[in-house]
Structure 1
Amino acid sequence: MILLLDLGNTRLKFALLDGAEFSHRGAFGWDADIAHELATLWASWPAPVRVVGASVVDPARETAVAVAAQKAFGLSPVWVRTPAQACGVTNAYAEPHRLGVDRFLALVDAHAAGRSPCVLASVGTALTLDALDADGRHLGGWIAPGPLLMQQSVLGATVQVRPGGAGAIRDLADNTADGLASGCWQACAALVDRFVERSAPLLGGHPTVTLGGGDAAVLAPLLEREVLLVPDTVLRGLAVWAKAHTETAKIA
């Protein structure tokens, strides 16, 4: 079994990979006492033989999770850093390490699952968009604030925009709360639609469009096209990476 770790901006997600399936899963927000929560939960889990992680957070949080894994299982994580090429996927970035490892692993998952050519959208703290062709070539992408971060940015930069509570998404809002929520969510939806429109000719005309991230289910109905909701793309990409590198090590 392999313990997979996905250290995202909002929360830590993790799963035990047993063969081709996740036998155990969990997640904690960073506001939790991570060391205590992980020690309590992992005490009841089977011991893995390896720990593999992907991180977009600071070294301090990586270290806290690494210490917890060492205490629980006597293993230190192997952190995946974004390469120029791996698992059949070629990175478009001239400086490969500057592509977020979460985005690269989502590409790995999509390619391994046979979803390419495709557009991958992930909606969380940030909205990321990537194009992947049928041969596993990453063609590039866009990055923007996610809907909630966009709303926070407006509130932080204005004096008069002070809604009394969370707004609802409406076609035509008649109050500030709904206007702010609607504008930010619809802006993200329009960006996804525009990216698909621009990248489709390079992807054969009709690419699969996948949507992941914590806010995917809210954004999906706002899009002008049918999308495939794909959860846990980073963990699934990590599983592909971990298996491939185990096989490479055995051959070597």
Structure 2
Amino acid sequence: MILLLDLGNTRLKFALLDGTTFTHRGAFGWDADIAHELAALWAAWPTPTRVVGASVVDSARETAVDVAARKAFGLKAEWVRTPAQACGVTNAYAEPQRLGVDRFLALVDAHAAGRSPCVLASVGTALTLDALDAEGRHLGGWIAPGPLLMQQSVLGATVQVRPSAAGNVRDLADNTADGLASGCWQACAALVDRFVERSRDTLGGHPTVTLGGGDAAVLAPLLENEVMLVPDTVLRGLAVWATVHTATVDIA
């Protein structure tokens, strides 16, 4: 069994992989006492043979999670760092390590699951978009603020835009709260649709379009393109990675 860790900007997600099945799952926001909460929870879990993690957060939070793994299982976390090529996927970046490991592992999951050629969209703190061809070549992508971060940026940069409640997405908003929510969510939807159109021909004309991330279910109905909701892409990609890479050392 392998304990898989996805350290995202908003929260930590984790799952215990037994063969090809996730037998245990969990998640914590970063406002929790991570080291304590994880160690307490994991004390009741079966002991894995390895702990493999992907992180887009700072070293302090990585250390806290590593401390919990050592306390609960006596195991050191193996941190996956973005490579130039792995698991059948080739990174488009000239400096491979600059591509977020979460994006790379989502590409690994898509390729392993047979969804390529495809466009991968993930909506959370950031909105990321990537194109993957049928041979597993990452062709590049876009990055933008996610819809909630967009709204926060407007609120932080203005004085009079201060809605008293969260707004709803409407075609024609007649109040500030709905106007702000509608503009930000529709902007993200339009960006996804634009990326699909710009990459369609390069991907052979009919790419699969997948949508993941914490806000995927909210964004999906706003898109003009048909999309496939794919949850837990980082954990799924980690499962592929951990199966292929058996070393129990940090991967640079």
> Secondary structure of 1:225's match?
coil
Name the structure 2 match of 1:34.
34
- 1:32-62: CA deviation from partner (whole Å, max 9, x where unpaired): 1111210111011000000000000000000
Name the structure 2 match of 1:23.
23
Structure 1: how far apart are the matches of 2:39 and 2:80?
Answer: 23
**Alignment size in residue pairs:** 248
Name the structure 2 match of 1:2.
2
Name the structure 2 match of 1:234.
234
- 1:137-167: CA deviation from partner (whole Å, max 9, x where unpaired): 0000000000000000000001111111100
Structure 1: how far apart are the matches of 2:33 and 2:94?
Answer: 38
Residue 132 of structure 1: how far off its partner (Å)? 0.1
Structure 2: runs of 5 or more not aligned: none
- 1:180-220: CA deviation from partner (whole Å, max 9, x where unpaired): 00000000000000000000000000100000000000000
> Secondary structure of 1:53's match?
strand
Runs of 4+ aligned residues of structure 1 deviating over 2 Å after TM superposition are none
Structure 1: how far apart are the matches of 2:16 and 2:162?
Answer: 44
> Secondary structure of 1:25's match?
strand
CA RMSD of aligned residues (A): 1.0
Structure 2: how far apart are the matches of 1:164 and 1:139?
Answer: 43
Residue 246 of structure 1: how far off its partner (Å)? 2.5
Name the structure 1 match of 2:204.
204
TM-score in terms of structure 2 length: 0.97
> Secondary structure of 2:17's match?
strand
Name the structure 2 match of 1:222.
222
Name the structure 2 match of 1:185.
185
Structure 2: how far apart are the matches of 1:192 and 1:173?
Answer: 22
The correspondence of residues 73-222 of structure 1 with structure 2, limited to 5 A, is: 73-222=73-222
